[in-house]
Amino acid sequence: MRNIALRLAYDGTRYHGWQVQKNDVSVAGTLEKALSKICEHPVKVIGCGRTDAGVHALRYCANFKTDSKIPADRLPLALNSRLPSDIAAVDAVEAPDDFNAILSCVKKEYVYKLHNSRIRDPFLENRACFFPSPLDEERMKKAAKQFEGTHDFRAVRSIGTDTKTTVRTVHWCEIEKDGDIITLRICADGFLYNMVRAIMGTVVYAGLGKLSPESIPLLLESGDRRLTGPTMPPQGLYMSRIWYEGIVGEMMKK
């Protein structure tokens, strides 16, 4: 059996997240149906991470096993002919037998986009979180920096997925502003359930003056989810980059 790694991009607006669902349409379920048709056998995909309903991916990696003879470089075109227009297979490579999209991942980056304006933009309805209240950009930048490093992130996660440890290493956490769009960019060796959305909520609270950036280390030490900011809506969140070693890593850089 061949082990194929896929690079994907998708708009998560109409999907109930990545994970296969019994009664809802998911990205993985849609992808498996398309792959099963072109490979002519049932296919199960392993994704690089769980994305929730309404969350998008600029870069996403999944792998699957197949005995199909379709060359890897022809798979994206064949697959896209079976996929809806809001999911795209961008590239594919034949990966080592032991490659696993989630277990082989070195680090991931997410971005969260906030539309900070008094007037809604209908074209950003499902692409950014509309937030009309004034925000202090400098306070948000200082707050974001407090999350960098190795910490226990219990205070910024939702209960929902079991994990052996809530300690993670955040390589960077930065705020950028371009016009009315405020973007949080965060990279870590792994993420807890709703961690990025809760971090963004805490950074927004700092921007509103509801908490000080300097208090964030103590809030993390407390491990108390009630003391940090709210979990922001899903539509502003994108998986943006994923890192791997070897041939899959080279594919994901393109």
Which of residues 53, 71, 104 is at a domain's end? Answer: 104
Half-sphere exposure of 179 (CA within 13 A, CB side): 6
Q: Using one digit for the tens of pLDDT, what is the confidence trace for 150-204?
A: 999 999 998 766 788 999 999 999 999 999 999 999 999 999 999 999 999 999 9
Q: Is 11 a catalytic residue?
A: no
pTM above 0.85, yes or no: yes
Residues 113 and 206 in one domain: yes
Distance CA 1, CA 68 (A): 8
Query: To the nearest whole percent, how much of the chain has pLDDT over 70?
Result: 99
Residues 131 and 227 in one domain: yes
Residue in 24, 52, 67, 178 annotated catalytic: 52
Residue in the structure block whose two tokens are 């061949």: 2
pLDDT value of residue 228:
97
Q: Provide the CATH number for the domain around residue 233.
A: 3.30.70.660
Task: Outline where DSSP puts E strands in 86-163.
Answer: 87-95, 107-115, 129-130, 149-152
What percentage of the chain's residues is helix, strand, coil (to nearest 5)?
Answer: 30, 30, 40
Q: Provide the CATH number for the domain around residue 90.
A: 3.30.70.580
Q: Using one digit for the tens of pLDDT, what is the confidence trace for 52-105?
A: 999 999 999 999 999 999 999 999 999 999 999 999 999 999 999 999 999 999
Which of residues 70, 104, 138 is at a domain's end? Answer: 104
User: Which structural domain range is residue 236 located in?
Assistant: 107-240
How many domains in the chain? 2
The torsion defined by the Cα of 21, 25, 29 and 30, in degrees rounded to 10, comes to 180
Q: Using one digit for the tens of pLDDT, what is the confidence trace for 107-153?
A: 999 999 999 999 999 999 999 999 999 999 999 999 999 999 999 99
Q: What secondary structure does DSSP assign to 39-84, as a single string?
A: HTS----EESS---TT-EEEEEEEEEEE-----GGGHHHHHHTTS-
Which of residues 75, 104, 133 is at a domain's end? Answer: 104
